[in-house]
């Protein structure tokens, strides 16, 4: 039997079924049943019953939530959250302390109990020794002399990358710390400085930013760049460093570097958000994200010179992270309901055009025709804005024609066409804002482009695992993108930020656009 295609389906309808004799109707019904079963089985395919990869499961289950746009999503999410409290599975997982979320089941991440440790195959050889003597007495402030016979009371190696004219060089420096005795008999020890402590509930050891550590700021920033910007997994970074530059670092150390860099960058991001409030136009967009398998959203807010990322829920309140009362400019967004309260807003026309394109392929001819008309009006609207030669006739302007086709489409039977037309009519002022305000971009392409990198990253890594990991990912990405918008070198700036953060000193000024 031939499989029913789009053309076949478009010829069927209530009238056609009513015209059929019973026997023929049974034939038609069984063909339709076959098609429905086939489609359903296809939807239910996952890694355990087909050759699909396990990575596809996590997205497969939430397909409906990802594809749709609009307010219903929140209710779907809320619903899926609520029963967890009472579900027996969850209770059990609480007792055993293990997560049952898909893809993160069985084992906790990191080194397993009883696993073999990591040892250095060759001892580190320092190319330079840097002595640190106390300058003043800690008790009486008297300046101290360097005593040549003194031996250091502690020391540590730092592996670092140094930029040379001909490229990058790996260096190993030994830091020696001394103590000095004052005339007042007080002994003062020179100590490596330390900065911010990041606390995560349930973690065995807090993350302290400090100078004392094996990986120097430039090397740590390089590792963070490999992970966040170049999307290389931690084990692969280990392999790359070992094979190409003979640096032996454990996966744990590599992970620590990425978090350290991210935490160091967080105060810079706060400053960027404050700066963002005076922007004229902000692009906003969001995409699904996973944090330890939990459904989250990755948001981006962009102006001409700032990009800020944030991982959180999809609630309206999450917007307050980016947009405070101080902001009086324009927002460019998609049709998501959380934005609708903001009065000065441009609704992204590219989103509407994509939906209209999908409608032109609709099975029902009437819907497809109206979809094509709607598409044409939207495209012409963008064209008029781009060329600036709009017609002045009020009754036959592009917005007026678009309004007419939407009114027509909003009363049709076709659910998707009706939904699109009503979306446009409900948000009418925001849809045509760019027609009346020529400085506004008609699409949200800027923000969408800024999210593309993260979307690919999500597909490779399945998101982040902790709130700290999410914070680190977002702050690094924010600074890298902001520096790129300002045509500044993100890596040397981030290395400076980390150097200061490890000493507990405020970050250096953010590069300005040239």
Structure token pair of residue 249 = 């670092």
Neighbours of 314 (CB within 10 A): 19
Return the number of the residue (190 or 377) whose C-beta is nearest Zn ion: 190
Distance CA 325, CA 270 (A): 16
Return the number of the residue (180 or 490) whose C-beta is nearest Zn ion: 180
Return the number of the residue (39 or 187) whose C-beta is nearest Zn ion: 187
Run of H or E residues at 497: helix 490-502
Contact 386, 405 (CB under 8 A): no
Closest contact distance (angstroms) between CB of 108 and Zn ion is 50
Count, residues near Zn ion per rule CB under 5 A: 7
Closest contact distance (angstroms) between CB of 136 and Zn ion is 8
Is 184 near Zn ion (CB under 5 A)?
yes
Distance CA 322, CA 335 (A): 18
Closest contact distance (angstroms) between CB of 153 and Zn ion is 18
243-272 footprint of Zn ion as x/- string (CB under 5 A): ------------------------------
CA atoms 382, 388, 389, 391: torsion sign: positive
CA atoms 458, 464, 468, 472: torsion sign: negative
Is 186 near Zn ion (CB under 5 A)?
yes
Closest contact distance (angstroms) between CB of 187 and Zn ion is 9
Name the CA dihedral angle for 134, 140, 145, 148, rounded to a multiple of 10 degrees.
Answer: -60
C-alpha atoms less than 13 angstroms from C-alpha of 288 in its C-beta half-sphere: 21
Tell me which residue has tokens 């998101």.
463
Is 139 near Zn ion (CB under 5 A)?
yes
**How far separated are the first and last CA of the chain, in Å rounded?**
67
Contact 305, 486 (CB under 8 A): yes
Is 189 near Zn ion (CB under 5 A)?
no
Instruction: Find the binding residues for Zn ion in span 81-120 (CB under 5 A).
Output: none
Span interacting with Zn ion, options 42-50, 182-190, 304-312, 360-368, rule CB under 5 A: 182-190
Distances (CA, A) of 105 to 99, 102, 108, 274, 343: 6, 6, 8, 40, 45
Span interacting with Zn ion, options 103-111, 171-179, 183-191, 288-296, rule CB under 5 A: 183-191
Is 514 near Zn ion (CB under 5 A)?
no
Distances (CA, A) of 464 to 51, 60, 68, 454: 26, 18, 23, 11
Is 242 near Zn ion (CB under 5 A)?
no
In the set 26, 82, 140, 274, which binds Zn ion (CB under 5 A)? 140
Contact 208, 194 (CB under 8 A): yes
Span interacting with Zn ion, options 20-28, 72-80, 134-142, 171-179, rule CB under 5 A: 134-142
Structure token pair of residue 15 = 């009238």
Neighbours of 22 (CB within 10 A): 7
In the set 58, 137, 232, 258, which binds Zn ion (CB under 5 A)? 137
Closest contact distance (angstroms) between CB of 177 and Zn ion is 19
Return the number of the residue (62 or 186) whose C-beta is nearest Zn ion: 186
In the set 159, 182, 215, 375, which binds Zn ion (CB under 5 A)? 182
Distance CA 264, CA 274 (A): 18
Return the number of the residue (82 or 140) whose C-beta is nearest Zn ion: 140
Return the number of the residue (137 or 272) whose C-beta is nearest Zn ion: 137
Closest contact distance (angstroms) between CB of 140 and Zn ion is 3
Tell me which residue has tokens 């800690």.
138
Is 142 near Zn ion (CB under 5 A)?
yes
Is 370 near Zn ion (CB under 5 A)?
no
Is 430 near Zn ion (CB under 5 A)?
no
- Site residues for Zn ion per CB under 5 A: 137, 139-140, 142, 182, 184, 186
């Amino acid at each position: 039997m031939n499989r029913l295609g789009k053309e076949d389906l478009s010829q069927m309808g209530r009238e056609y079924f009513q015209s059929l004799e019973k026997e023929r109707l049974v034939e038609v019904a069984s063909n339709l049943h076959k098609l429905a079963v086939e489609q359903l089985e296809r939807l239910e395919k996952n890694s355990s019953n087909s050759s699909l990869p396990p990575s596809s499961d996590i997205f497969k289950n939430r397909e409906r939530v990802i594809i749709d746009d609009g307010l219903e999503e929140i209710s779907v999410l809320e619903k899926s959250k609520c029963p967890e409290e009472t579900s027996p599975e969850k209770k059990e997982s609480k007792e055993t302390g293990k997560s049952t979320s898909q893809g993160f089941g069985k084992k906790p991440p990191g080194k397993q109990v009883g696993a073999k440790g990591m040892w250095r195959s060759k001892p580190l050889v320092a190319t330079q020794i840097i002595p640190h003597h106390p300058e003043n007495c800690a008790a009486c402030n008297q300046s101290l002399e360097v005593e040549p016979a003194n031996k250091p009371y502690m020391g540590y190696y730092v592996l670092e990358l140094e930029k040379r004219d001909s490229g990058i060089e790996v260096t190993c420096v030994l830091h020696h710390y001394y103590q000095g005795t004052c005339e007042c008999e007080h002994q003062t020890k020179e100590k490596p400085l330390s900065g911010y402590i990041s606390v995560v509930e349930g973690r065995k050891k807090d993350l302290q930013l400090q100078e004392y550590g094996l990986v120097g700021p430039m090397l740590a920033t390089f590792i963070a760049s490999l992970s966040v910007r170049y999307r290389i997994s931690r084990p692969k970074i280990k392999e790359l460093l070992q094979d190409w530059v003979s640096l032996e670092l454990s996966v744990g150390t590599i992970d620590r570097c990425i978090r350290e860099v991210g935490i160091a960058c967080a105060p810079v991001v706060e400053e960027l958000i404050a700066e963002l409030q005076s922007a004229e136009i902000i692009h906003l967009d969001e995409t699904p994200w996973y944090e330890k398998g939990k459904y989250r959203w990755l948001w981006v807010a962009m102006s001409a010179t700032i990009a800020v990322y944030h991982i959180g829920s999809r609630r309206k309140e999450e917007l307050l992270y980016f947009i405070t009362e101080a902001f009086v400019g324009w927002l460019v967004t998609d049709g998501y309901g959380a934005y609708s309260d903001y009065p000065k807003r441009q609704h992204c026309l590219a989103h509407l055009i994509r939906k209209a394109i999908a409608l032109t392929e609709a099975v029902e001819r009437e819907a497809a025709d109206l979809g094509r008309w709607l598409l044409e009006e939207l495209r012409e609207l963008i064209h008029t804005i781009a060329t600036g030669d709009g017609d002045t006739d009020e009754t036959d302007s592009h917005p007026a024609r678009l309004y007419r086709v939407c009114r027509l489409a909003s009363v049709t039977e076709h659910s998707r066409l009706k939904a699109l037309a009503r979306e446009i009519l409900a948000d009418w002022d925001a849809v045509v804002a760019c027609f009346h305000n020529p400085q506004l971009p008609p699409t949200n392409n800027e923000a969408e482009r800024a999210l593309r990198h993260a979307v690919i990253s999500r597909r490779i890594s399945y998101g982040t695992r902790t709130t700290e990991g999410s914070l680190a990912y977002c702050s690094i990405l924010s600074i890298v993108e902001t520096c790129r918008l300002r045509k500044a070198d993100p890596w040397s700036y981030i290395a400076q930020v980390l150097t200061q953060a490890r000493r507990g000193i405020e970050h250096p000024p953010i590069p300005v656009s040239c």
